[in-house]
Structures are given as C-alpha cells and as structure tokens.
Structure 1
C-alpha cells in the first residue's frame, strides 16, 4: 500500500507542549499491548466482572480522585522510583452544575439564610486549621479595604490558597462555605487546590446597587435554593433598573431570570418598581407529557445492558455481527464512546428489543469472533455518546531506544518524559484513529462531502479501495468502475457489514442523489454523524497548532477560557465559556490549561483574535462559508462544542521491563539481546486519546 502521505503531513504538523527530548518505541505490536477499559459515570471500570489479566504497573502511589482504581499486580521487574512522590496533576471533570463563579468546582446546594454566616464560619473552623482560617479572614478584610481605597490599586488580582483538599466532597463544602460567608470572593479549583480571589462581578454590581444588596444577591445565587426569589430594593429610575436587568441577565442569564414588579403603593407620583430574580425552571418541566399510548409502549421497551470485550476489531464491525446474530439492526445498539481497533477493549453497551436471555444464548458463537459479552442485565434506557467518565489504558511500549543523535541515559530520558507529561499535561489533539490512519480516504473527507450535501461523492469516497489485492478492495474497485451495486454485493465478503448494507440500499434505490441519501440511512445515526464530527475534529487539530504557533502558551485577549473545571468538554455550554479581556491578559488572570477552542457547529462562538479569523478562512477554503452545520436530508444537526487544548493523564504509573528474547543479527552471528519495554498505565477523560498522550511522552508520532 502507498504511504499515507496525507496522514503523515497532517500529524507531523502537530505541536508539543513539553520541552523534553523523548524516546522511540513500538506501540500496538499486538492487541494485548494496548488494553482499553471504559470508566462509567460512577467511576467504575466496566470490566470488573472479568478475569481478563490487565496490566497494573503502579509503583508510585497516584493521587486519590474520582477515577477508578484496580488491585495492583506485583510485577517483579526493573522499575523507576521517582523519589518525589508527586501527586498527579488532574483537571477534574464532573457533571454540569449551575455554578456562576469563574473556575469554581461543583458544590452541594446549601440554602442561604440570615443565620448562615455563622453556620459557614463553623464549617470553615471544622474544615480549616486555625492559622488558615485566620489568614482567610485577613485576606477577605484586605480585599474589602483595597476596594474602598482611593485611588484603587492596579495590577493583578490578589489570591489566597486554602491548600490542597484531596476529598472532593470536602472541597465542594469548602467552596460553598467560603462563598456563602464571603460573597465578595470567588473560589477556583486548581488540581485539588482551592484558591480564593476577589469576585469582580460582585464589585461591578456594587456600582449599580448597594453593597448590602450585592452581598445578599450573591449569597442567594450560590445557595441555589429551588423556587426561591430575591428582590432588589424599589427603584424609581427606569434607566437604572434597565442597567441592573442587563447586568444580571448578561452574567447569570443561564441560571436566573429577572422581572420588574410595581410596589403596592405604586402611582404616577410614586413610581417605585422592584426587580425580582428567580431561578429558571429545569427544561424538563416544560416538556409536554407523552400520550398514554406512547407511555405504555415505552414501558414495554426492552433494554439489555452488557460489557463488550473485543480484540483487534472495529466497533462498527462488532456491532454489525452482533446485530445479525440477534436479529436486530445496528441502530438498536447504543454506546458511550468509540474504541480502538488494534487493541483489547472493554466498553458498556445497551441493545434494544433483546432480552438478557437471548444475548446469553449467543455467547459461545461470538467468542469465535474474538468477542465476549458479560455483565448482562436489564436496564431502563439506552446509552448516549459521552455517557462515561473516561477510559483506563494499559499500554506496553516495546523496543525502547534513544532519539537519533541522543546519547543520554535512556532510563533517565524516559523518567524525564513521563514526569513532564504527568505534571504539565499534553496537547489534547484528536488521535489518528479518528480519521482512519493508513487509508487513502480519511473520515473527515467523507464528512466534508456530507456537510456540503454532496451525497454521491460521499458514497464514492466511502467505497474508495486501498492499494491491496484482497476481496474487499477488489469489490470496491469493481463498484467505482461500474456502479453495479448488485454485482458488487456478490463480491463483498459477508463480514463487511457496513459496505453490504450500503450496497443493498444502492441496489434498491439507485446511484442518484436521492438513492445515496437512502443508502446513508442504512447506517445508524451515530455512524452518520461520526463522519461530520471527523471533519470538525480535523479543523480543531489544525486550530490548536495555529493557536500555539501564533500566541504560544500565553493566554491573550480574545481567547476563550472555561470557567468551570468540573464540566466535561462535551457538556460545556456557552455560558461557561468566557472571552478574555485586555485587562485579564495583562493581569495573567487565566492559565493555558483553561483555554478552549470551538469544535465546529451551529451553536458555538469563535475566539476574538487571529484564531477566530483563521476559523473563518478555513471554512471559506473548504467551501463551507454558508454552512449551518445541519444536513436535513440525513437528519444531522451538529451544534458543536468546546474542547480544552491541554489535558492531563490521571493516575499515571509506569514500570520498565527487560525483554530477553529479541533476536539481533550481526555480520557473523545471531545473538539474543535484552531490550527495554515500558509498561504505562493511566486514566484519561472522555474523548481524550491515549495515542496523543503517548506521542507527547515519546516526542514522536506513534
């Protein structure tokens, strides 16, 4: 097969964030060298019921967090001891909360009230030592004093660190307790550390209303008490009321709504009107109830959950095979995320219209296809994409060598590389498997054709053969030469489920534009939208490289930053994304790990600097100037999202081993030479790629 030059060009242009030298090695020499286990939303590994041996190579105690833990295997091999016992840097992810402070972690809802300052003081006294509590009170006092000084001081905002709190529940309580006692402060989560800063929004509101009102308003917001209301003092100035409305809706419109009500003694002579604030109702309360017939049908629906173990197999091929054996269609299967092909992978799945007993009956048959199903049970609903916490990886990197012209100690190079990425993170690129490494046509090219509604071109791209003389590629070559779907069907091997489904539709509806639309509907929605997402992913990768080449690691005016560390990228709403101002750039308010870039879609905002213009230029280059990221014929709506440009691995552990069975040929003989292999184990947030993390560690494409 010809070299995949497009892949080589697009991935050699990706950047690195760390400055270590790195090393060479071989990844995925066999599927058992790359084991992926999904971590569900509760933080549990989905393979917990299996006896499958999974590498666990920890010699360094990781920092406790919400990711899953496994029993350790005692591997009697050469290992690193870093001596520092540093805790792993984490960028904690959690479910979407209703936070309003920038960077604050998700906290429990603690109701506000007039007596709560005393309660919060008690909480702070019990959670913080006396000295820290005293320093926190002094910091709060200093902030208030500086705000009232004339002239006001300039420069970056002061900060106070409460320290690292490893237990997430304690952190949540402390976040809320501090903000309830001192509403003029905000708390920010940084790798389990709680940092306290002045609340600039509080200060801004004090220019519009009294400090007493601002104080009580922010206490009300933070308490998040359902069905509660807050009312500002009556105001006769309509323009001033308008300014207060504008401020509240601009800053907190996703959380609350405002309305003006006249006072009881309202009259033309006494036009007192008060602004009342209340929390928005949850969206589900506005949904219409389904008819009783539909509700009965929904109750009758059967959903069976299970864990799928597959080896060296594409996920869609696995689903197609299961669908045939169970007598359902591929779209009856739902899953939380896609998994690698050349690997042993474990993931949660749900299938509709199949009982647990039926699934158990085919266990023996599917074992012949290098698949297993277990943890089979009835559930109430299907899975959705992104419904997971992350993935655990156990990877063996073999044939370790120094980079060319590097004579340093290899073990030291490996230690340096791993510690750097553990502490500084890696650039969060989409991995090569997203685009189909080694193929003539990449998934993003098909996605671009779909976004341009060129259905015929998209079909031809999908059926483009590789330069291999096998049954699959001979069938594809025949189709492109003849467009004879029926004849191609007879040539296509049975195991190519997607291709056969597509060809059956083309045989029925023809190779017209409408026929190709019908052919795409032979794929489940998740597969159709996968191609459109692949195009957005490719552009995002390019955007990261451009952003770093243009501005480096500085956070500059016009950048987009995430204001909530606990919200995952796929759930990050526009309200949690902030546009960096000139003043914030000067004050170094934000760090590079908070910067996000938009993944293309119809509901995203662009950076307001050179990067934003770059996005528009790329859309113009690809003929998508007027694209609304909706493809009605295929029922595809792509809202877009935001993605952090920097991520950290969690629970990263590693160990060196010696392989003694490597056959090395010299001029006069064959000898057995010991080579080093590296076992590395880590957890990644959902939608992060292990190959990208390893690329940053090794400093070369993998």
Structure 2
C-alpha cells in the first residue's frame, strides 16, 4: 500500500526484513514538539514564551483563562437531559415582551395549554407513533402596522416558544372606489367587485419544531437554545449537553438535524452514543480566516496541549468549539500522528467577544489540566496544559525545530536486538529517504494515480468525489437518491463532508440533477462536483492538495534515487523553478498523473481557493540522538522482543519512514 503513496526505494538496503507491531495503543507512539528555541514541549520545566510586547488589551480580555472558566462551568452539566428530567439541570428565564399583555397570554393558555402540556402531548403522540399531532389555529387580531407585527412575532418566539405566529392577508369586500393598501414598498390595488381593503391577521399555532426539540432534548435545553438565539450577537458562547433517545429512528434523527440547522445556523451539534453536544458562538463558525473580521481582535492566545488519539482536524474542531472561533482560526506548528500521544503548541485568536466578568477565575485548576473529550470516544481527548497571551501573531505552520519521538515496537521478529541497534546507528550516520509518510494520504489509497488531490489538480471533479467515497463505494452508484450524510458511516469524515455539500447543492441550485447525469457524467454532474468540492471547509481542501504535492515529491524521489540523487527536490508550486535534469523527471511524473507539464502546473496559483506555493525539500534526512532499549516478551520465544526507540527528527520528517528503513519492510501502520 505504501507504493500507492509513491514510497518505493530504501536508502540503506538490508539483507533481512523484520516485522513488528506498532501503535497497539497511543502510548506506544509519543511525540514531543521541539520549539524554535530547541526546547522539548514535554519537559516538566517547559514554559510557553511570554508575549514580547505586552498590550493594554491583555487586562481587558482577561487572557484565555476566563474563557476556560466559562466553558468549564458549562462542561459540568448545567444544561442537558431529556424531557423527563430536564428541570433539575437548568432553569431558563425567558424574557417577556410588552407586546404580549396578560389578556393575550391568558387567551393563548386557554386555547393551546401551557408549554409543558404541549410538550407532554407531543411526546405522547411520538411514543404512540402517531404522526398526526393535533393542530389548531387561533386568530389573535388584526395588526396592519408592519413594526407592530414584527415586534409581536419576536415576542412570541421568546415568551411562548412552543407556539408559532404567522401573518396572513385577508381582503374585505367593499362597494367603494379603488382602495390602495401599502405594504412596505409595494402597493396592492383593489377594485370594485374584486375585493377590498387588506387586513393583516396574526395566526397562532403549535410550533412542532420546538416541540420536537423539547421531546428529544428536554424542555430546558430547548428553552436555553431560544434564549441564547435571542441574545445574539451580544450573548456569550453556548455549550449544552443532553441525552438523545437511543431508540430514535433515522427519520427522527434526520428531522432533528434539519430543524437545528434551519433554526440555529450559528450552532454546531454532534450526536454520538446517545450524547448530544451543542456549541454556539454569536460570531458563528465562518469562512476561512485567521482572524474574524467582524470582531475586534486583541491578539492570539498560545496553548500548550497534549492530545491523545486525535487527528489534526479533530483537534481543530474541539479547540474551535471550545473557544468559539472558526475551525481555520486554530493554528498549529505542524501535523502530528493520530494514534499517538503528542505534545504540541497551538494558538487561537482572542477577541473582546470572549470576555467574562469573573476574570479572577482560572480554567486550569492547579495541576489538573482542562480536558476536551471527543464525543465518539472518551479515550480521545485534548488537554490544555498551559496558556500564554495575548501574542501579536498566531503559531505559524513550520514554526518548530522538529519533533522528539519515543516509539515502542512490539513483537519484533526477523532480526536480533544487536542488528536493530546497528541499523539505527547506521541510519543516524547515513540518513534515510525523506518520503512523506502514510499519514499524509488516505488510508484507502490503492493506486498512486487515484488520490483526491491529484484528481482535483487535474480538474477531474467526479473522480475526486468518487475517490472521497472509496470507504463506501456503493453510495456513489445510488446518487442522487442517497445523496445524504445519514448514508455515510460516521468514521468517514471527509466522505460525510462532501456528501453534505452535494446534498445542499442538489436541494438549492441543482434540483434538476438525475441519476442519468451521474451515470453518464454529464456537464451538470461535473459542475455539481466542482461546486461541492469548493464548498467543503478550507482545512479539508488544504490537506487534499498538500497530499497531491507530497505524492508528486515521493514519486520524484523514487524515480531519481541513486548515486546522483540531488540534495533537494522541489515541492511543486508557482514560486518554484525546475531546471536541469530534474525537469525531465518532473515532466514524466506529471504526465503519468495526467497533470500536464511543469509550466502549466506553475501557472496555478490557486486551486479551489487554496494557494499552491512550492518549496525545496531535502531528499535525505538524518535522525539525531538515536537510542534503543529492549524488553523481553513474557512467554514469547527467544527470537521475539520489544524495543523502544528514541530519536529526534527535523520538522516535516516522518518517524514511520525511519522505522520502515530500520526494519526494511513496507508496512502500513
């Protein structure tokens, strides 16, 4: 499978191939980032640098500690539960409005009953699988002034959220001359015999969407959503947890997510294993930006974190949700392995919107770090160990000296401990080929020509979509009828993302799309695929296109490996010139990938909105400070042993490639 990533050659060939188990648990693969000053971030004495230029805004913001304290309180379960036990979690005081006088409220209570009664009635119908929830309407009067109607609608949403109001126009026949009724900028003309003056009636009925949320999450959580939504954009960040009925059908879950996305577009919601995590920011999770231009930014908070069993996107999502910033505003110095325990630095923008009045409180209590847990797996989490800020700049990509690795190989077979020691020492002297490792690519890759980023670079949009769905290949053949995220396994995050984008486009802009368009790959289907790929979050597109650049480099390195191997090879981009004997090899690689010529490639400054700069990358890298310790396997044979390797690699070098050369085997770890 490594050949599908362009990894083919060995820099130091070996006579005997060894095998071993790696990453049985994340603790077998420990990575500690080494900062630009050369300090390892896992050291007990390590401290994040303090800001070089203190600013007056630091005291105003109260650092990120106040944000941590706010979220910590919410994490303790202030909100959550189901309809039966929600009241013991939170009591939400919904604001009243003068437009709803006591007489009107009494009338609505008499006609529709209380909110609790309506929720109980809805839950009874749901339990009996009776989809025909009783509906009734009540006309509360005529309101011909637009401002008056708008005020009443707003008051209804907050004061009686289990009810909904709508405006209906009614004509009253008259025998007089022509009547003109003004509605904002438009005028309605009613002639004799055709109608009369227009009256605007407010009609009230049950809000079944609110009742659905109350039934599934609990009345208190539904109230909290209404109250928070009414406070936007001045309100604080939102964090709610609740139990979701495990017996809910797919249709119920689908309806729930549709209601949440329609009513609360500024809220993100994840459901897993009967647990709902709801987070919201009045600033929203907007499009890509290091700093949200709609908020007054006062710097960046740098974080020292320890993550366990999370990839880079999951890390960003957790931090973005916690600090209520866009996902792309979470910056890291580099990507780290998923099945590992890693120590690294991150940054998030701190804004005035994230202030909290109790600035003296701390989100990190003594030696106990704040832990953010991934919903699907409680053993996957990120811990915030330190904070520092505000800094004038975020943590930049590549802003590290390298990484220190402590890796345990289990059940090493095929070589002796002394041979393993000799190979490690030899590689420390001679180095190994600086391939991009398997983590850079999709684990479903079977051929070096079938990569998402390669298809995107070639403008082959349907092929890129099919490639993204490689984990669920039958789904593509069922488009557009099954073009919905609920048909995609939850573990296939990239696939769910593209299907969600396709579904949105199909419902809004490309409603005429048919199965024949997909089968015959018509221009309409190609346009849909292109626009869907463009609509995927920027962070995903960057990973795909960086993977394509990495594949080209790996293929080039395999092709040119030998005595005349250059010291560096290009990562192709618009700012890199390719000259001499390397140019013909690059042309050959681009030709086999159907990506045109070097000159054509260099003209692409952006692809799907992602910049395509290039760089020069070393072809051979040497580990530093290699050490090996051995452990005898209990109950095992004498020729089987465990080994722990510790070594330092410069940034952008892969430990799995080093282990490949040590063992002499092509294993997909």
Question: Normalization by structure 2: what TM-score?
Answer: 0.52
In structure 2, what is the equivalent of residue 400 of structure 1?
412
Partners of 1:359 and 1:430 lie apart in 2 by 41
Q: Does the Cα contact within 8 Å between 2:606 and 2:612 map onto a contact in 1?
A: no
Matching of residues 349-364 of structure 1 within 5 Å: 349-353=346-350, 360=363, 363-364=370-371
Rate the CA distance shift 1:505–1:546 in 2: closer, same or farther, 3 A.
closer
Q: Does the Cα contact within 8 Å between 1:444 and 1:532 map onto a contact in 2?
A: no
Matched, 1:417 2:427: no
Partners of 1:463 and 1:442 lie apart in 2 by 17
Q: Once the 2 structures are TM-superposed, how far is the Cα of residue 417 of structure 1 from its aligned partner? A: 0.8
Matching of residues 83-482 of structure 1 within 5 Å: 300-353=297-350, 360=363, 363-366=370-373, 368=378, 370-371=380-381, 372-380=383-391, 381-402=393-414, 410-439=416-445, 445-465=451-471, 473=472, 477-482=474-479
Q: Does the Cα contact within 8 Å between 1:334 and 1:349 map onto a contact in 2?
A: yes
CA-atom RMSD in angstroms? 3.5
Rate the CA distance shift 1:482–1:299 in 2: closer, same or farther, 3 A.
closer
Rate the CA distance shift 1:322–1:297 in 2: closer, same or farther, 3 A.
closer
Partners of 2:420 and 2:606 lie apart in 1 by 50
Q: Does the Cα contact within 8 Å between 2:572 and 2:602 map onto a contact in 1?
A: no
Q: Does the Cα contact within 8 Å between 2:304 and 2:344 map onto a contact in 1?
A: yes
Q: Once the 2 structures are TM-superposed, how far is the Cα of residue 376 of structure 1 from its aligned partner? A: 2.4
Q: Does the Cα contact within 8 Å between 1:424 and 1:648 map onto a contact in 2?
A: yes
Matched, 1:46 2:56: no
Partners of 1:36 and 1:430 lie apart in 2 by 17
Q: Once the 2 structures are TM-superposed, how far is the Cα of residue 413 of structure 1 from its aligned partner? A: 1.3
- Matched residue SS, 1:543: helix
Partners of 1:418 and 1:32 lie apart in 2 by 22
Q: Does the Cα contact within 8 Å between 2:6 and 2:551 map onto a contact in 1?
A: no
Rate the CA distance shift 1:43–1:527 in 2: closer, same or farther, 3 A.
farther
Matched, 1:601 2:573: yes
Say which is worse superposed, 529-538 or 686-695, in terms of deviation: 529-538
- Matched residue SS, 1:627: helix
In structure 1, what is the equivalent of residue 613 of structure 2?
639
In structure 1, what is the equivalent of residue 663 of structure 2?
698
Q: 1:138-158: CA deviations, max 9, x gaps?
A: xxxxxxxxxxxxxxxxxxxxx
In structure 1, what is the equivalent of residue 584 of structure 2?
613
Q: Does the Cα contact within 8 Å between 1:450 and 1:631 map onto a contact in 2?
A: no
Rate the CA distance shift 1:359–1:296 in 2: closer, same or farther, 3 A.
farther
Q: Once the 2 structures are TM-superposed, how far is the Cα of residue 519 of structure 1 from its aligned partner? A: 3.4
- Matched residue SS, 1:597: strand
Partners of 1:542 and 1:13 lie apart in 2 by 8
Partners of 1:341 and 1:356 lie apart in 2 by 33
Q: 1:605-642: CA deviations, max 9, x gaps?
A: 33512x43121122223222233362646222322111
Q: 1:257-293: CA deviations, max 9, x gaps?
A: xxxxxxxxxxxxxxxxxxxxxxxxxxxxxxxxxxxxx
Q: Once the 2 structures are TM-superposed, how far is the Cα of residue 445 of structure 1 from its aligned partner? A: 1.2
* Contiguous gaps of at least 5 residues in structure 2: 47-290, 511-524
In structure 1, what is the equivalent of residue 224 of structure 2?
none
Rate the CA distance shift 1:32–1:520 in 2: closer, same or farther, 3 A.
same
Matching of residues 541-580 of structure 1 within 5 Å: 541-548=554-561, 552-554=562-564, 559=566
Q: Once the 2 structures are TM-superposed, how far is the Cα of residue 523 of structure 1 from its aligned partner? A: 4.4
Rate the CA distance shift 1:596–1:299 in 2: closer, same or farther, 3 A.
same
Rate the CA distance shift 1:365–1:534 in 2: closer, same or farther, 3 A.
closer
Q: Once the 2 structures are TM-superposed, how far is the Cα of residue 301 of structure 1 from its aligned partner? A: 3.8
Rate the CA distance shift 1:436–1:297 in 2: closer, same or farther, 3 A.
closer
Question: Normalization by structure 1: what TM-score?
Answer: 0.50
Q: 1:553-577: CA deviations, max 9, x gaps?
A: 246xxx5xxxxxxxxxxxxxxxxxx
Q: Does the Cα contact within 8 Å between 1:38 and 1:45 map onto a contact in 2?
A: yes
- Counting matched residue pairs gives 388
Q: 1:276-323: CA deviations, max 9, x gaps?
A: xxxxxxxxxxxxxxxxxx999897345222233222232212322443
Q: Once the 2 structures are TM-superposed, how far is the Cα of residue 679 of structure 1 from its aligned partner? A: 0.9
In structure 2, what is the equivalent of residue 686 of structure 1?
651
Q: Once the 2 structures are TM-superposed, how far is the Cα of residue 689 of structure 1 from its aligned partner? A: 0.5
Q: Once the 2 structures are TM-superposed, how far is the Cα of residue 50 of structure 1 from its aligned partner? A: 9.5
In structure 2, what is the equivalent of residue 529 of structure 1?
542
Rate the CA distance shift 1:553–1:356 in 2: closer, same or farther, 3 A.
farther
Partners of 2:339 and 2:317 lie apart in 1 by 18
Q: Once the 2 structures are TM-superposed, how far is the Cα of residue 494 of structure 1 from its aligned partner? A: 6.1
Q: Once the 2 structures are TM-superposed, how far is the Cα of residue 682 of structure 1 from its aligned partner? A: 0.6
Rate the CA distance shift 1:374–1:50 in 2: closer, same or farther, 3 A.
farther
Q: Does the Cα contact within 8 Å between 2:4 and 2:448 map onto a contact in 1?
A: no
Q: Once the 2 structures are TM-superposed, how far is the Cα of residue 9 of structure 1 from its aligned partner? A: 6.0
In structure 2, what is the equivalent of residue 627 of structure 1?
601
- Matched residue SS, 2:398: coil
Rate the CA distance shift 1:523–1:304 in 2: closer, same or farther, 3 A.
farther
Q: Once the 2 structures are TM-superposed, how far is the Cα of residue 349 of structure 1 from its aligned partner? A: 1.3
Matching of residues 2-13 of structure 1 within 5 Å: 4=1, 7-8=2-3, 13=8
Partners of 2:542 and 2:617 lie apart in 1 by 18
* Contiguous gaps of at least 5 residues in structure 1: 52-293, 404-409, 466-472, 560-594, 665-672
